[in-house]
Chain A
Amino acid sequence: MLSTSFTMIAIVCLWMAAQLLLLGGLSQHRAQDLLYDELRYVLAGPPDEAPPLGPVVPVGDPVALLTIPSLGVEQVVVEGTASGDLLAGPGHRRDTVLPGQVGTSVVYGRAASYGAPFADLPDLHAGEEIDVVGAQGSTTFTVLGVRRAGDPLPQPVADGAARLTLVTAEGSGRLGAIAPESVVYVDADAAKGFPAPPGRPAVVPDSEKAMAADEGALPLLALCLALLLALTLGVVAARQRWSTVLVWVVASPLAIALSWASTDVVMRLLPNLI
């Protein structure tokens, strides 16, 4: 009995860890592929869809393609920085201009989980380039430097210029790669930005700020757990009638899918930059 409990704990924990580090990466890659296609489509100027120009873009839509050649990063940036939005890729903070527009644009990205698109961000050096392709064209930013807590903020952005601030988290010590605990920023400037339409929201919800969690996912989590419970009871009941093998053949995919979905929901309850 005790042994079973420990087994369960081990399974749950390891499944979570595996999803964060490995399986999430798979789904993130898949999401990026779809987003890339969608971005290509909207940037081509289709008659039925408006390109993402701001000031308001539906949350979750792709807004730009972010390329950091020196790190080998190529990611489609989505709108919104809540924990759930960042599962698909780096997210653009909604109360800032879009990347490439005049002013400062802020993009959040995960450091360790779900593909960890911004894992290597602290390795950037001043002078390296970041390319952004948005609806108005492409912009090349030059990195000003990596900024951590206590460092002075960069000078106010110049008239007509664009700034991109990438935000992620990093850890320290031996487990640093999987323990991103403090927020780190990378500022990059471009001398000329595209005009930004007025009317952006002045604030974003707390759940879209750095290291924030989205507590709105709790009801969904309850639903997922209830389904898992139902599946468990179903498996117990089915084993009375049918052979174990048969039951598990049918139940395993369901269990894996439900676990996967539940873990995605749990991710929304966790800080958005890990």
Chain B
Amino acid sequence: MRRAIALVLLVAGLAVPAAAGAQPGDLDRLDQRAAPHPERQAKGGFSQTKTLTRRFVQADGSTYSFPSHTVTVTADETTNLRGRQRILIRWKGAQPSGGRASNPYGENGLNQEYPVVILQCRGLDDPSLPAKKQLSPATCWTASVAQRSQVTRSDNEATWTHDLEADAADKARVGGLDPFPTAEECPTADIAPYFTRLTPFVTAQGRTFEACDAGHMPPEAAVGAAFPPAEIAAFTDTDGTGAVQFEVRSDVENESLGCSDRVACSIVVIPIAGLSCDQPSSPMTLADQACRKGGRFPAGSSNFANEGVDQAVSPALWWAASNWKNRFSIPITFGLPPDTCDVLDPRPPTGFYGSELLAQAALQWAPAYCLNKQRFKFQLNQMSDEAGWNLMENGGGAAAEVSSEHEQRGSDPVGYAPTAVTGFSIGYQIDKPDNAGEYTDLRLNARLLAKLITQSYLGSDLGRGHPGIGDNPLAIMNDPEFIELNPGLSQTTQEVGATVLSLSNSSDVIEQLTDYIAHDKEAMAFIHGKRDPWGMVVNPKYKNLDMPRSSIPLLDTYVPETSSDCRQKNPAVYFNQLAAPVTTLRKIAEALLDAWPNVQTRCDFDTGSGLYKLGRIDRQSFGSRFMLGIVSLGDADRFGLRSAALQTKPGRFVAPDNASLAAAVALMKQEKKRHPFLLDQAVVRRSATAYPGTMVVYTAARLQNLAEDDAAKVAQFIRIATTEGQERGSGNGELPGGFLPIEKKGVTAKFFAAAQETAAAIEAQRGPGGSDGSGGTDGPGIGDGPGGNGGGVAPPPAVPGDDTPSTASEPSAVPSVPPTALEMPATEPVGSNLAGGLLPLLILLGAIGCVAATALRIGAPVMRRRR
């Protein structure tokens, strides 16, 4: 009971960034409505209540009804979903489940009793629609045959043939598909006297897969498909409540299912209450008895051994009429696909280059630009902040999206306009031991992060031989410091526990993360070589690593010595195989979503070539997942990832949510006009409420020499992004979850004002206008620079002022006739005493030599004669 409430509360807490804008208490209020309520579809929410009853027709013709369950199902977001987005589905009042599986997804979840089956189906549950647009079991996606068809079952496993609600046709020995597949098509399907019931799958393109064996399933259901199963047989707690994050798939991920912005789909929630059974024959057949079974596992128990369950109460018969009747259909709509603008708008895009933190917002913003002919075609090209900045500075891009101040190399001044408030978090996917669900309360401090990024955990016994740190814990789950902060977790070592999946390239996110570490005395003492109170010491290769820094280097060089043939033939730096950083935050988010660490220590032997191959380890098994990764708050919200709370004051841990982001925003200060706001981590550490990972994404553009139309576009973008782009919602042009809206009033008012000011400055382009951004470096930047030892001509000074026209290092931008003479620096004196003195000295020495030699020649005989 307490566990379930805690789970629900914490999941709700995670979803706060998403839900806060649109009626934060929405779901809770809906929950409190006790009376059965007709289908309600608010903006992004769903709630429905149904009464479910299991009935048996007795031998005498009377009907016995079990006590009814009044089940209420709610969903938090149902509109404008994107592929792989996870939505929170909760229910209460359901029959408590028994025989809980450790992995409830796909066919692994079949051996449970009274679960809640949640599926994604194409079509809507609306009888007024044409049949093609309605949902049916044949449009519901499952990743395996066993989940949809019962093939060659014996009498006592054919309970569906006694389903009270089923048509006569469904009670036949073979059925489900008309005409039934031939023996050539499905050789195992029709074997008398066994029973078979097929639930075919009809793809969006209209093709029917018979689903009689694995060869007759849609391609996306192949073994080892790109995406793990999303459909789930979820567990209801003993108090009748349950919650699950359900991942939806668009036609990008699952073309056969084919859900998109044009094809309506539903999420079907079927609380399994047990089959209703028809009048038994007398005496009861085995099938009659099987239909009346009520489960062999007590409520709340687990089924670790994956033992068989009573079919009548199992999720395998979700399609049986009496179960299907109990369904809740949650209509969902998908947002425009990511390539909408490329398809619908032929205009060339205007590229904004930089931060991936903005990715989820840009996904929703872009269609609001390209589908509006009054606006330009906005395109966010994600790359490292530094690369985006460089492109913007040298004219390759109209504007850059960055989240910190960058070094200015060109001569043109650059203005920063706050565009979105978001940040990063340490995402995690951790299961509690003994099938107790997901851990939702991870707490980390700076020293633990320092240990992770300095590769100071050993990973496994392979790391034991590493010089200097052989006595360190194998992984974070074995670290007493971690156990103290997060009690009750499994301490079984996994290699992935030695690392936090991070970025391989430079990023402002890493800069901020390391800045957070740099302001923690204990963490820095650890990096400088001091042992932590439990005796752990930093990896010597990372000792005295400079912090903060914009990328985390892979410095270790230890190749373990082992008897493993594979490792001997593929010697590699072990810790780097563990860390294996990736290039984008999105990849980290997906790795977390799939609980698939990027640890590259799996060894495959190819018998054909006799060679070993190292690769990524398998997905983690449900129930023992443990993974950490650096994710953006936008991704964390979209994919329903959990974010760790980071320590600020001793004993205070702050998780990212609206309040903690706002508290951090309140601490930010702007030093100069049109410059970024700075978040001093020292101040964050004194605050008990501010989230250290809060970051502001700025649109940075040149204030001079930007082409006029580009300047207008950038200014337009800043103005729209800071006004209508800050409305919370899932629609085009709206702000997704994981972002704190910038508003005219309140704590973000300073951002709004700064953005408008910068937009005006960018539009004005007060410097002399240039024509385009090309040209590069062919310029009069001659001379050696002030530092050269023989400087000829010093380059003109870079004056980042507002009113000075651009000086010379951007040639294409320099007007042919400067309006005013520039104040030029003085020529540097260059000289050489050697050069000046050499010839006179040579001549002088030569003359002296001649004179002296002559004098000696003449003088010597005289002297001798005197003697």
Q: Find A270's partner among B777, B815, B834 (CB 8 Å cutoff).
A: B834
Interface residues in A103-160 (C-beta closer than 8 Å to B): 103-104, 106, 112-113, 147-160
Interface residues in A192-207 (C-beta closer than 8 Å to B): 196, 198, 200, 202, 206
A261 within 8 A of B: no
A35 within 8 A of B: no
Chain A residues whose C-beta falls within 8 Å of the C-beta of B816 in the assembled complex: 158-161
Interface segment among A26-34, A68-76, A181-189, A237-245: the answer is A181-189
Q: Do the beta carbons of A14 and B846 come within 8 Å of each other?
A: yes
Interface residues in B810-855 (C-beta closer than 8 Å to A): 811-812, 814-818, 821-840, 842-843, 845-850, 852-853
> Closest Cβ of chain A: how far from B425's Cβ, in Å?
41
Interface segment among A4-12, A41-49, A219-227, A246-254: the answer is A4-12
Q: Do the beta carbons of A209 and B832 come within 8 Å of each other?
A: no
- A97 and B778 in contact (CB under 8 A), knowing A106-B793, A152-B826, A179-B839? yes
Q: How far is the CA of A4 from the CA of B807 in the complex (A)?
A: 63
Q: Do the beta carbons of A155 and B824 come within 8 Å of each other?
A: yes
Q: Mark B785-817, 1 if CB is under 8 A from A, else 0.
A: 000111111101000000000011001101111
> Closest Cβ of chain A: how far from B836's Cβ, in Å?
3
Main secondary structure of the interface of A (DSSP, over half): loop
Chain B residues whose C-beta falls within 8 Å of the C-beta of A211 in the assembled complex: 790, 830-832, 835
Q: Do the beta carbons of A3 and B792 come within 8 Å of each other?
A: no
B129 within 8 A of A: no
Chain B residues whose C-beta falls within 8 Å of the C-beta of A178 in the assembled complex: 839-840, 843
- A106 and B835 in contact (CB under 8 A), knowing A96-B782, A150-B827? no
Q: Do the beta carbons of B839 and A20 come within 8 Å of each other?
A: yes
Q: How far is the CA of A103 from the CA of B809 in the complex (A)?
A: 11
B187 within 8 A of A: no
Interface segment among A59-67, A167-175, A228-236: the answer is A167-175
Chain A residues whose C-beta falls within 8 Å of the C-beta of B837 in the assembled complex: 179, 181
Q: Find B782's partner among A106, A148, A273 (CB 8 Å cutoff).
A: A106
Q: Mark B763-794, 1 if CB is under 8 A from A, else 0.
A: 00000000000001111101110001111111
> Closest Cβ of chain B: how far from A116's Cβ, in Å?
11
> Closest Cβ of chain A: how far from B859's Cβ, in Å?
9
B856 within 8 A of A: yes
Q: How far is the CA of A148 from the CA of B532 in the complex (A)?
A: 63
Q: Do the beta carbons of B827 and A17 come within 8 Å of each other?
A: no
A271 within 8 A of B: yes
Question: Closest residue of chain B to A206, judged by CB?
Answer: B789
Q: Report the number of A-B residue pairs with Cβ-Cβ less than 8 Å.
A: 201
- A9 and B849 in contact (CB under 8 A), knowing A112-B839, A147-B827, A150-B827? yes
Question: Closest residue of chain A to B833, judged by CB?
Answer: A181
Q: How far is the CA of A270 from the CA of B832 in the complex (A)?
A: 10
Q: How far is the CA of A232 from the CA of B790 in the complex (A)?
A: 39
Q: Mark A74-106, 1 if CB is under 8 A from B, else 0.
A: 000000000000000000010111000011101
B284 within 8 A of A: no
Q: Do the beta carbons of A9 and B845 come within 8 Å of each other?
A: yes
Q: Do the beta carbons of B815 and A13 come within 8 Å of each other?
A: no
Q: Do the beta carbons of A3 and B793 come within 8 Å of each other?
A: no
A21 within 8 A of B: yes
A163 within 8 A of B: yes
Identify which of A8, A16, A93 gathers the most chain B CB atoms within 10 Å of its CB: A16
A165 within 8 A of B: yes
Q: How far is the CA of A160 from the CA of B838 in the complex (A)?
A: 42
B462 within 8 A of A: no
B857 within 8 A of A: yes
Q: How far is the CA of A198 from the CA of B774 in the complex (A)?
A: 12
Q: Do the beta carbons of B853 and A171 come within 8 Å of each other?
A: no
- A181 and B832 in contact (CB under 8 A), knowing A14-B842, A209-B789? yes
List the interface of chain A (C-beta within 8 A of B): 2-4, 6-11, 13-14, 16-17, 20-21, 93, 95-97, 102-104, 106, 112-113, 147-161, 163, 165, 167, 169, 171, 175, 178-183, 185, 196, 198, 200, 202, 206, 209-212, 270-271, 273-274
Please name the 9 residue pairs, one residue from A and one from B, whose CB atoms are nearest each other, closest first: A181-B836, A10-B849, A209-B790, A149-B829, A156-B808, A3-B856, A14-B846, A13-B846, A182-B831
Interface contacts beyond A156-B822, A210-B791: sample of 13 additional A-B pairs, CB < 8 Å, sorted by A: A9-B849, A10-B847, A10-B850, A13-B845, A14-B843, A93-B782, A106-B783, A153-B826, A155-B818, A169-B831, A181-B835, A209-B789, A209-B790
List 30 A-B residue pairs with CB atoms under 8 Å apart, sorted by A's residue number.
A4-B853, A6-B849, A6-B852, A7-B850, A9-B846, A9-B848, A13-B843, A17-B842, A17-B846, A20-B839, A20-B842, A93-B782, A102-B778, A103-B779, A112-B839, A152-B824, A153-B796, A153-B827, A159-B815, A171-B836, A178-B839, A180-B836, A181-B832, A185-B793, A198-B777, A206-B789, A209-B784, A211-B831, A211-B835, A274-B835
